[in-house]
Structures are given as structure tokens and as C-alpha cells.
Amino acid sequence: MGILRLCSGAVGETLIAADRLAKTFRQGFWMRRVEAVRGVSFTVERGDIFGFLGPNGAGKTTTIKMLTGLIAPTGGTATIFGHPVPSTRALGRLGFMPENPYVYPFLTPTEFVEMCGRLCGLTAASARARTRQVLDQVGIAYASDRQVRRLSKGMLQRTGLAAALVGDPELLVLDEPMSGLDPVGRKDVRDLIFAERAAGRTIFFSTHILSDVETLCDRVTILRRGEVVVSGVLRDLLRREVKRTDVTLDAVSPALEAELEGAGHAVRSAGGRRIVEIEGDERVGEVLAAALAAGSRVVEVTPRHETLEDVFVREAIEGDPAKA
Ligand SMILES: Nc1ncnc2c1ncn2[C@@H]1O[C@H](COP(=O)(O)OP(=O)(O)OP(=O)(O)O)[C@@H](O)[C@H]1O
Ligand SMILES: [Mg+2]
């Protein structure tokens, strides 16, 4: 039934729309202003895997809290499923995993997730069945009857994810779902996000792990100090031209090294091999010819494209006037 409900929405439908959303906190005795979010706009369409990025303190969690109705905006508007936030009708259709899932320490994952299922309106029997299913899906079925206070950080994170999934939501909002997970755990969450999208869900998540975003997301928004600095379709944001080509050689004689450096190429060592770094890809042929003529063996030729990390560093870190 859940899947039928999931598939009934129109592709191209806007599920989240933030329009100049803003939040200014007042802090301390003097009510000092902290402008955490300063006019953030973006949209999330049905079927998207949407990455919400930004350095620490950029305003990601604050934005997510406004979207999920935990705090009220001080400016701008947002809608979820077309309902202005906060909206209990919209909340009934989304699964939320907060940044630090708070789970009552004396409950077991089974008890906690089942309780979340009941809060989502499931009957006792279907909450029980669905809990078993999602705990298995997030990989902690083996610890499902251990008290939460005895779980590791990663296991707690997985419990939070199970709680977000139990109500069979159309939209998943996940604040740092990979934090605290080991490499296998991160891969599990990546696989889970793909599987959930294939099942018809839309996923909006924040993270710092850029390589995960690069493999997962259709669209991204990068925040810096409460403002959007980059937004769009990921493959359009990454410049596809070759930035650099690395030619790996088994060895480089001193004469060849001098020749390559004289021609403006950097030569470095890595893993017992020598790597010649060539700007762009136009002069690769000339380097290969020189290497072969000098008797070196070519191990690998690797074109390097711009990565999301390059975009992130350029726009969110180096572009920050406060850090320039
Ligand atoms: N309740 C609050 N009162 C005052 N300032 C706050 C409050 N909550 C957040 N802030 C401030 O708002 C800014 C944005 O914080 P937020 O938690 O949204 O960042 P974030 O992008 O989620 O960072 P991280 O990547 O570290 O999770 C920070 O400067 C933070 O100190
Ligand atoms: Mg945060």
C-alpha cells in the first residue's frame, strides 16, 4: 500500500520550496543577534536526491529545523507538499532524522521505532512488522533488543534512520545521516538512499561528506554563512573539462625529470612510483613520448575532472570574504 501511495505523486512536483527563508537568533543577556540563515531559497522536486551542504555553522540544521516546524522562521516562507510550514499535514508525509537523534536511553531500538510507527498512525501489528523490516534494512536487527544506552554512535544513528523510515514517508529529511558511521556503514546508507529513491521516495539530506554527495545526489545547494552560494543540478555544476592529467611512470631518470620540469610539469612520488602532473590534457602526448624515449614504463594515464570538493572549497571556503 505504501509503495502505491508513494508512486501516486506526479514527477516534477515541488515537495519542498524555501523562499528567502531566514532565522535570526537572539543570544545572551544583551540579546546579541546571530543571523544563522539569511534568505535561503531552493526547491526539492519529487524523486530528487538533494544534497544540502555547507561548512560547520553554515545554517543547514537551522534550515532543516524550520522546514520541520521545530523552530519558526524570522523571515521568508517555506512550503512542504504545498502546505506552509509548520504543517502537521505535511509532517505526516515526511520522515525526519535529526542531527543528533535523541532516543530514550532505556528503550530498545525495537521499542523506540515501534513507538515512532504508532505515532505515524500505524496499527500495533503493522508497526511491529514494519519495525522488524526497517531495523533489518538499516543493519541493526542483531541489536534490536539491546537498550539504546548500550549502543554505539553508529548504531544509534541507524536507529534514527529506522525511525525516519518506519512510517513509509514520501519524503525523507535527513540531517547528517552518514555522521558517526564507518566506511561500511556509509556505504550501507548510500545503498539505502538509492533503494529508497527507487521505491519512490524523495530524499533531502545534509552532509559534509562530499564524495557521498557526488555519487548520490541529483541536485545540491551549498550554504555559506547562512546564504546559498551554489545551487543546481550536480552534473551541470561540475566542469567536465579535464583540469589535470596524471601520468604515472615506474621510474624517472634524473635527465627525464629535469626535462619534464623544464617543460613546466610537476613530478612527484607516490606509492613507489613517479607521477607527472600535466595541466589540462593537451600536452599528454609529448610527455608520453619523452617518457618512452627515456625508457620509463607508463603505468597509468588519469584525467582529473573538477570534483565537488573543488567547488565546495572555491565557493564555500575560499569565497568567504571573512576568510580571504
Ligand atoms: N539556538 C541557537 N541560538 C543561537 N545561535 C544558534 C542557535 N542554533 C544555531 N545557532 C547558530 O546558527 C549558526 C548555524 O548553525 P547550524 O546548526 O544551523 O549550522 P550547520 O550548518 O548545521 O552546522 P554543522 O555542519 O556544524 O552541523 C551557527 O552560528 C550557530 O551557532
Ligand atoms: Mg548541522
Tens-place pLDDT, residues 139-163: 999 999 999 999 888 889 899 999 9
CA distance 240 to 164: 36
Instruction: Please give the CATH superfamily to which domain 2-237 belongs.
Output: P-loop containing nucleotide triphosphate hydrolases (3.40.50.300)
Ligand 1 binding pocket includes 58 (Cβ within 6 Å): yes
Helical ranges in the chain per DSSP H: 2-7, 60-67, 88-91, 109-119, 124-137, 153-165, 183-198, 210-216, 234-237, 254-262, 284-293, 308-312
Ligand 1 binding pocket includes 51 (Cβ within 6 Å): no
Q: What is the DSSP letter of 10?
A: P
Do the beta carbons of residue 202 and residue 15 sit within 8 Å?
Answer: yes
Q: How far is the CA of 208 from the centre of ligand 2 (A)?
A: 9
Query: 232, 229, 185: which is closest to 51 by C-alpha?
Result: 232
- Minimum-distance ligand 1 atom for the alpha carbon of 34: 5
Ligand 1 binding pocket includes 151 (Cβ within 6 Å): no
Q: How many CA atoms lie within 13 A of 162 on its CB side?
A: 32
Ligand positioned closest to the Cα atom of 24? 1
Query: 108, 86, 100, 77: which is closest to 174 by C-alpha?
Result: 100
CA 231 to chain centre: 14
Ligand 1 binding pocket includes 98 (Cβ within 6 Å): no
Ligand 1 binding pocket includes 33 (Cβ within 6 Å): no
Architecture of domain 242-305: 2-Layer Sandwich (3.30)
Q: Does the bond joining 183 to the residue before it have cis omega, within 30 degrees of 0? A: no
Q: How far is the CA of 45 from the centre of ligand 1 (A)?
A: 26
Listed by start position, the domains of the chain span 2-237, 242-305
Do the beta carbons of residue 303 and residue 242 sit within 8 Å?
Answer: yes
Tens-place pLDDT, residues 27-70: 888 888 999 999 999 999 999 999 999 999 999 999 999 999 99
Tens-place pLDDT, residues 227-254: 999 899 988 888 777 889 999 999 999 9
